[in-house]
Each structure stands twice: as C-alpha cells, then as structure tokens.
Amino acid sequence: MTTITWIGLGHMGNPMSANLAKAGYDVRGHDVSAEAMAAARDRGVQTFDTLEEALQGADVVFTMLPKGEHARAVYLGDTGVIALAPKDALLIDSSTIDVETAEHLHRAAEEAGFRFVDAPVSGGISGAAAATLTFMVGGKPDVVEQARTFIEPMARKIVATGHAGTGQAAKIVNNMMLFICLEACAEGSVLADRLGLDPQVFWDIASVSSGNSWALQTWYPVPGIVDSAAANKNFEATFSAVLAAKDAGLALMAGEQTGVQLPAARLVAEKLQQLIDEGLGDKDCSLITKYAAPDGKI
C-alpha cells in the first residue's frame, strides 16, 4: 500500500488528508497542534507526535503549512523532511508561499536527490471537503505527472503551470483577484442593504449577473445567504485574516519586484492588516466588510 505523510493538519490539511485516507491510502499525519492531530484522527488519519515518526515509510509527503517560514522550517535543516524522509519519496508542497522560498525548496530537494513540486490549491475549505480543489503544479513535467495520481482524490482540476515556482506564482495572482472580489462583495453587500434591498433578493440577482464571482458564491459576507460563508458563524475563520494578509502581501511584493501597479490589492491588504491590528487576525478575512459599515451593521 502507498504510504502518504501529511504535515499540517489545519483548516485545509484536515479535509484534504481525510480525502486521501478515504481513497484508500495509508495516511500518516503530523502537526504541532495536538488539537489539529485529534481532529485528523477522527477522520481516518493516523497521527504521530514527531515529524521523524510520521515520515517513516513515506512514498509521498504532502505539506500544507501557513507561510514560507513554516515550509522552510519543515523541509530544511537536520530535523527537516529533506534530511529525514526516505530518498525516493515524492515531495509535494501545497502551502501558499512566496516564489523565492518555493524555488529554494525545489533546489534543496533536488540537490538531496528528491523529486519536488510546488502545488498550491484554490477552492477554500468547502472545496477541500468536497474534493473539488484546483491544484496549480510547478516543477519538472515528469514529476508533475507523477504527483497527479496522488493529488487526484482531492481535486477537480490539476493544472501544470510550468517550471519550479510557477504554481505559487499562479496562486498569488489568483488570490489577489479573489481578495479584490471579496472587497467588492463587502462594499456591495452593505450598499445594497442601505439602499433598502433584501439581501437574498440582491444576491439572487448578482449571482446570475455581471457582479458574480467565486467570493460572492462562497464567502458572501451576510448571514443566512450562502451556507459556506463565515458570516453565518460570527466570522469564525474559514480563511483567516492573517493568512489572507500574507497572500495579499505576497502579491504586493511581486508587484514591487515587477514594477506592476496594484492599488486595489493594496487597499484590501490595508484592511486585512487593520483586522490584525485590532486583534481580529484569527477571524475570517470576510470580516473586512465591517469597514464598509462604520455603524457596525453587516
């Protein structure tokens, strides 16, 4: 039986690893959070307290970690995946991280004799649970093809993006567009309300009109309209403001490096940072809606 090690069992890693277990793989999970490991056990994933134990017998290693610094810590150094995993293991990083770190991990893995792809995802926790994620996979074409088999139980779409780091490049641009669409939903939902529109009536119109977007369909920031929206659960995170600010920051950094002007992305990044500054970084990113409604009524 193929053994898959899964590192990072959070909002996304939990349902994604559970789908691999459901597909019949032997899944060995590890997370620094005991709570995340307990939740993974409930869904058919064996868990291990140390990375070293989790990596035993791994044919494939997936990582789903918050930021580039976490990915570097997990892959590099004497106690990292590259030092400890079986040398023939295929390494797949699905975290959203900066292109430079992704390229660095590619080089470090290849120098140590590993196959590695950067394979970030889009689709949110609802897509992770429903196994309908889009994977953007960067790396050598033959390695991307090998990764496809193990990604399939979690995906609706798997796209080969090109050379090392291009999966992350695609993901950073995609998420920048998502957050700009979220800001449009935030402003639109409050304005529609203040103009006296029933929220359901307005959503029904926008969802089949030119105002439609993935953000509108999945994260619409008004309670009682879209099942998957954090607005239904007091903005408990499905995608935290901290992670969203990280992604918006990656886009702004890429804009600076390439000389591209990104005023809309900058505006959303500032609002996400405002949530963090108010101590609301663990809340859902769609809570930026409150800045469109200074009277507090979302």
State the catalytic residues: 171
Binding to ligand NAD by residue 32, rule CB under 6 A?
A: yes
Residues 212, 206: contact at Cβ < 8 Å? Answer: yes
Cα–Cα distance between 185 and 56 in angstroms, integer?
46
Closer to ligand NAD by Cβ: residue 92 or 243? 243
Beta-bridge partner residues of 157: 134
Q: Which stretch binds ligand NAD (CB under 6 A): 24-32, 191-199, 220-228, 261-269?
A: 24-32
Cα–Cα distance between 121 and 155 in angstroms, integer?
9
Beta-bridge partner residues of 103: none
Residue nearest to ligand NAD (CB): 10
Binding to ligand NAD by residue 29, rule CB under 6 A?
A: no
Which residues neighbour 278 within 8 Å (Cβ) at sequence distance 6 or greater? none
Binding to ligand NAD by residue 9, rule CB under 6 A?
A: yes
- Binding track over 56-95 against ligand NAD, x by CB under 6 A: --------xxx---x--xx--------------------x
Binding to ligand NAD by residue 11, rule CB under 6 A?
A: yes
User: Minimal distance in Å, beta carbon 161 to ligand NAD?
Assistant: 15
- Binding track over 242-281 against ligand NAD, x by CB under 6 A: -x---x----------------------------------
User: Minimal distance in Å, beta carbon 230 to ligand NAD?
Assistant: 10
Which residues neighbour 151 within 8 Å (Cβ) at sequence distance 6 or greater? 92, 119, 135, 137, 158
Binding to ligand NAD by residue 36, rule CB under 6 A?
A: yes
Which residues neighbour 177 within 8 Å (Cβ) at sequence distance 6 or greater? none
Binding to ligand NAD by residue 125, rule CB under 6 A?
A: yes
User: Minimal distance in Å, beta carbon 225 to ligand NAD?
Assistant: 19
Which residues neighbour 183 within 8 Å (Cβ) at sequence distance 6 or greater? 264, 267, 268, 271, 288
Compute φ and ψ for 159, nearest 5 degrees: -115, 125
Binding to ligand NAD by residue 28, rule CB under 6 A?
A: no
Binding to ligand NAD by residue 10, rule CB under 6 A?
A: yes
- Distance set, CA 122 to CA 126, 182, 197, 201 (Å): 10, 15, 31, 28
Compute φ and ψ for 195, nearest 5 degrees: -85, 5
Closer to ligand NAD by Cβ: residue 37 or 192? 37
Name residue 88's amino acid. D
Site residues for ligand NAD per CB under 6 A: 7-13, 30-33, 36, 64-66, 70, 73-74, 95-96, 121-122, 124-125, 238-239, 243, 247
